Structure 1
């Protein structure tokens, strides 16, 4: 396991995300190439999983559009803690600093995501991730409106 290669992987992931937020065309091929053929995610709404296919590509496009609409200006990796699981797997706890424009004011939010990585053919692929309650935090900062039922 090469920790510097993992850090370089997430630096590229960050760069592509920020390019999209800045209005550059989203490189969906590169974004989906960061993920394994099947991805599992766990968060406050439960566990989900799916193939890295056209549906996943559409979800990535939708997420990027949503971030821009709610005023996202940047996502910056501030730290990465890597835990080797075995010769072919690692967990990377990636700390992010995110900035949003809300009525001309910069709102910053720190968070982390745990990514579970596999190393196949010397490539790094994300096959699982664990995230916190992003929706709750965005609502607390007034970046998204709570839906009334």
Structure 2
């Protein structure tokens, strides 16, 4: 399992780099989409939804980065990655993120966790589902929205 753990760690290091590039305004929609399965599921306090990895998804990726930039978030870093093997092909990965922001001349940060479900098929890792916390509440509490 050490090889797959190393692969999963590298997968999220790449994901983190793409996030940084997206926050910098660089075009990363295509590379971001490559991290996701053809269909994926999101669960959050807003409910459960599914989406296709299609042109609509690709168009939404830059809008997400623009939203984060607009509220002052300028950097995202992974603090911790915990991997649980579910079976030979599937993994639950709890990623602890820290976002850094600048609001009204004051720097701050927010820590949060996202649980990702990965499938390792044909030598490729893909996100097929993820669970997020109440991002809107946290952003409001931090004064970002």
- Matches of residues 72-87 of structure 1 in structure 2 within 5 Å? 72-87=73-88
Q: Which residue of 2 aligns with 1:4?
A: 6
Q: Which residue of 2 aligns with 1:33?
A: 34
Contact (CA 8 Å) 2:85, 2:92: kept in 1 or not?
yes
Q: Which residue of 2 aligns with 1:60?
A: 61
State the TM-score, normalized to the length of structure 1.
0.93
Gaps of 5+ in 2: none
- 1:107 deviation in Å? 1.4
- 1:57 deviation in Å? 1.1
SS in 1 for 2:86: strand
Counterpart CA distance in 1 for 2:40 and 2:55 is 13
Q: Which residue of 1 aligns with 2:89?
A: 88
- 1:55 deviation in Å? 1.1
- 1:85 deviation in Å? 0.4
Contact (CA 8 Å) 1:28, 1:60: kept in 2 or not?
yes
Contact (CA 8 Å) 1:16, 1:26: kept in 2 or not?
no
State the TM-score, normalized to the length of structure 2.
0.96
- Matches of residues 89-128 of structure 1 in structure 2 within 5 Å? 89-128=90-129
Aligned residue-pair number: 143
Counterpart CA distance in 2 for 1:35 and 1:139 is 29
Counterpart CA distance in 2 for 1:44 and 1:55 is 23
Q: Which residue of 1 aligns with 2:72?
A: 71
Contact (CA 8 Å) 1:39, 1:126: kept in 2 or not?
yes
